[in-house]
Amino acid sequence: MAIRYYWPMVAAAIGFRFVLVLFGGDLHLASRPEVSTPLTSLRRLAEGYWLKQASMSPYSGSMYHGSPLLLSVLGPLTSNRSGGKNAHVYCSLIFVAVDFLAAMLIQATGRILQMSRNRSLKSLDLTKAVNNSANVSAGDIASLIYLWNPWAIVTCVGSCTSPIENLMVVIMIYGACSRLAPLAAFGYVIATHLSLYPAILIVPVILLLGYGPDAPTTKVFLLKSSSSSKSDMRTSLKIQRFSWMTVLHFIFWLFIWSGYVLLLSSIILKKVDGLNEMFEKTYGFILTVKDLSPNIGVLWYFFAEVFDFFRSFFLTVFNMNIIFMVLPLAIRLKHRPCFLAFVYTAIVAMLKSYPSAGDSALYLGLLGLFANELAEMQFTFFLCFGYIGVSLHSPVMHNLWIWRGTGNANFYFATGLAYTCLQTVLVVESVGSMIKHDRKLRLLVPS
């Protein structure tokens, strides 16, 4: 079921961004810790570009910690020659186009998942039984959620590079769902280059390329095949056959794109310390959490309070905590790799060292891809208004602490803690609802 007035709603979302970019200069979103981080700040990028133009390392000091590729792409737009005060306007207009492209790719991914879902239901003779309860255009819903998400809007307008990182992740997922190995490899390499954490998405990408888009568990097809002929059984089980050639093609392009990125980075940094300094100032900065400026996460507060003697231990614990979740979730959700990518993205947004509103905008958009499967998810009212409450309280508590002096760090940290709890509930409930949906399909299969 397609959404009525879809394209007017898309145009309205893009137009609303243009209005905020051109006439919302007094919003000062670039200075908000919820929007901009040490890794995504356009102001820091401008500082790095100035250092590079002065024949110095862009990583000198403690300002810039991003990709050297972004310096070459966005750096010229931030210089005084490009308009000075209007530099953020030019970059924000690029981010508007990036958001639109990401939304269209999310819609295309939703169509691929919808076709895969319809084929699976048809092979199980469950089309009427399931579609009578829920059958909406998940791709349209997901793209509109991404475009109209307030966090995606403030991230786009707030002069930070999060929209580019989100686009690379969406390109990777779309390429994997379409089984376009070069495109998936390109998105994976650039996303990992811009931010280390998308590296864990290698698991759902390989599953998508090998098995194809999401489908019910193999047990459901086996149950259907047990009451069908042998030819039907072969047809049903063919859906779950793993394609090694596509995965090997992806790995080949992975090395190709990685070589290009490293080569371009070394050329940009040829007059300074080169790649060694880049890895230390980007990946090393992410893993060691050296910048303890407030953000909507919880790591800044924890490492500001922890004794230096225990810092290395807790750094290892927090960084490994994400990796420990990869294998169990992959084993349980290997039949739904695109949903697994959403879960990994939400976990990363919850546990990364420098989270921002753009991370939440991405996984909430991906969540819309599973509107049919998660139609019976619980606590949606609580989650919706919980996110709204956190969004309203965060700037208030930050203002009471930093500017008015009537609060302290605990005020702002409490908001970040509530935000982390909400994300935990969302991940747990979405995974539980997806498992319940698969069990429901198993019960609906005619014996």
* pLDDT tens-digit series, residues 193-207: 999 999 999 999 999
Q: What pLDDT does residue 57 have?
A: 86
Q: Which two tokens stand for residue 409?
A: 């760090």
Buried b (16+ CB within 10 A) or exposed e, 177-208: bbbbbebbbbbbbbbbbbbbbbbbbbbbbbbb
Residues in the chain: 447
Task: Give the whole-angstrom CA distance, residue 190 versus residue 187.
Answer: 5
Rounded to an integer, the average pLDDT of 101-112 is 95
From residue 121, how far is each of 113, 117, 118, 277, 325 by CA, in Å? 12, 6, 5, 52, 30
Task: Give the whole-angstrom CA distance, residue 296 versus residue 391.
Answer: 10
Rounded to an integer, the average pLDDT of 119-142 is 77
* pLDDT tens-digit series, residues 390-426: 999 999 998 889 888 887 888 899 999 999 999 999 9
**CB 265 within 8 Å of CB 58:** no
Q: Return the minimum-mean-pLDDT range out of 163-177, 234-248, 263-277, 279-293.
A: 234-248
Q: What pLDDT does residue 81 have?
A: 54
3-state class of 160 per DSSP?
Answer: strand
- The maximal CA–CA distance of the chain, rounded, in angstroms, is 75
Residue 302 has, within 13 A of its CA and on its CB side, a CA count of: 19
Task: Give the whole-angstrom CA distance, residue 375 versus residue 377.
Answer: 6
Q: Which two tokens stand for residue 87?
A: 């530099």
The runs of H, that is alpha helices, within 325-408 are: 326-332, 337-351, 357-367, 380-398
99 alpha-carbon distance from chain centroid = 13
**CB 369 within 8 Å of CB 110:** yes
H/E element holding 219? Answer: helix 218-225
Global pTM reads 0.93
Q: What pLDDT does residue 282 have?
A: 92
Q: What pLDDT does residue 231 have?
A: 47
Residues with Cβ within 8 Å of 155's Cβ and at least 6 positions away in sequence, in order, are: 35, 95, 162, 163, 356, 357, 358, 361
Q: Residue 236: pLDDT above 50?
A: no
By percentage, how much of the chain surpasses pLDDT 70? 91
The sign one gets for the Cα dihedral 260, 266, 268, 274 is positive
**CB 360 within 8 Å of CB 370:** no
DSSP code, position 134: -
3-state class of 133 per DSSP?
Answer: coil
Q: Residue 238: pLDDT above 60?
A: no
Task: Give the whole-angstrom CA distance, residue 175 versus residue 182.
Answer: 8
